[in-house]
Amino acid sequence: MRIIQRTALVAYGLFFVSFGAVQIMLMLEAGREIPDDIDYAVILGAGLKGEELSETLKSRLEAGADYLQEHPEVPVIVSGGQGEGEDIPESTAMFRYLTSHGISEDRITEENQSTTTWENLRNSKAILESKGEEDGKILIITSDYHVFRATLTGKQLGLDSSGLAGESGFFIKINYMIREYFAVVKTVFIGGE
């Protein structure tokens, strides 16, 4: 009985230490400085209701539009397929948002097949390869709680990736930071697929 109790205590201890470590990494990665020499940006999708942007997707697009307006030489891939409850692909809604905020259509490439972070970045990498840009520096624009896993996935796929965080609301961030712990553990130990 004592062995079971000690094993359970050690398991709980490891969980709490690893959970705390991952939360610190999530916060640190979201606050990192962006390199000056970005060659391409990739904005990750995050859900629609019909054709309406979710708050999460809107925050990513706000961060992306601000960055792209300040860096008019950087082209962008908007990455997101069409899921349940979505009337159009996320990439189409993202394209519309960016063009309505002054980003030229010729800077935007749509990737409209992906439904996961790994697919977003794998499919975006294929687009970059077709343009001869796969060796460039890539800025992944996503939610604050998601930057760490997105850049980790990008690096697993061979992308020289940095992240830019869209600001999440407090309750959204708390909810997703808990969920991200398990997603990060899966990405580290199993991979992104």
Is this model's pTM higher than 0.95 or not? no
Q: Domains of the chain, with CATH numbers?
A: 2-189 (3.40.50.620)
Listed as own residue / partner, the contacts of 122-125 with beta carbons closer than 8 Å and 24 or more positions apart are: 122/157, 122/192, 123/79, 124/42, 124/77, 124/79, 125/157, 125/158, 125/159
In tens digits, the chain (193 residues) has pLDDT values of 788 888 888 877 787 777 777 777 767 777 788 889 999 999 999 999 999 999 999 999 999 999 999 999 999 999 999 999 999 999 999 999 999 999 999 999 999 999 999 999 999 999 999 999 888 999 999 999 999 999 999 999 999 999 999 998 887 877 787 888 888 888 877 766 5
Give the integer Cα–Cα distance in Å for 27 and 49: 28
142: left (phi over 0), alpha (psi -120 to 50) or beta: beta
